[in-house]
Amino acid sequence: MIHAHARFVDSNTVQLFAIDGAKAKPPAKYLRYEKCILASGSRPAIPGPLRVDDPRVMDSTGALELADMPGSLLVIGGGYIGLEMGTVYRALGSKVVVVELTGSLLPGVDGDLVRPLQNHLKTHFEAIHLNTKVEALEPRENGILARLKGDGVEPEMLFDRVLVSVGRWPNSGGLGLESTRIRLNERGFVLADARQQTDDPSILAIGDVAGEPMLAHKAAREAAVAVETAAGAKAEFDNAAIPAVVFTDPEIAWCGLTETQARAEKIKVEVTRFPWAASGRAMSLGRTDGMTKILFDPETERVLGVGIVGSGAGELIAEGVLAVEMAAVARDVAESIHPHPTLSETVMESAEAFLGAATHMYRPRKK
What type of residue sits at position 179?
Answer: S
Contact 172, 7 (CB under 8 A): no
Q: Which of 3, 124, 217, 340 is catalytic?
A: 340
Given a contact cutoff of 8 angstroms between Cβ atoms, the answer to whether 324 and 240 are in contact is yes
For residues 214 and 294, what is the distance between their CA atoms, to the nearest angstrom?
Answer: 24
Active-site residue flag, 340:
yes
Burial group, residue 76, by CB count within 10 angstroms (0-12, 13-18, 19+): buried
The answer to whether the CB of 165 falls within 8 A of the CB of 77 is: yes
> Which residues, other chains included, contact 215 with Cβ-Cβ below 8 Å and sequence gap of 6+?
242, 244
Q: How far is CA 120 from CA 124, 125, 173, 243, 306, in A?
A: 7, 9, 40, 23, 22
Rounded Cα–Cα distance for residues 192 and 50 (Å): 32
Look up residue 269 and give its amino acid: V
DSSP annotation string for 38-106: E---EEE---GGG--S-TTEE-TTGGGS-SS--SEEEEE--SHHHHHHHHHHHHTT-EEEEE-SSSSSS
Contact in structure between 277 and 291 (CB atoms under 8 Å): no
Q: If DSSP codes are grouped into helix, strand and coil, which group holds residue 230?
A: helix
How far is CA 12 from each of CA 40, 248, 294, rounded to the nearest angstrom? Answer: 17, 44, 47
SS3 content of the chain, % helix, strand, coil (to 5): 25, 25, 45
Q: Hey, which residues are catalytic here?
A: 340
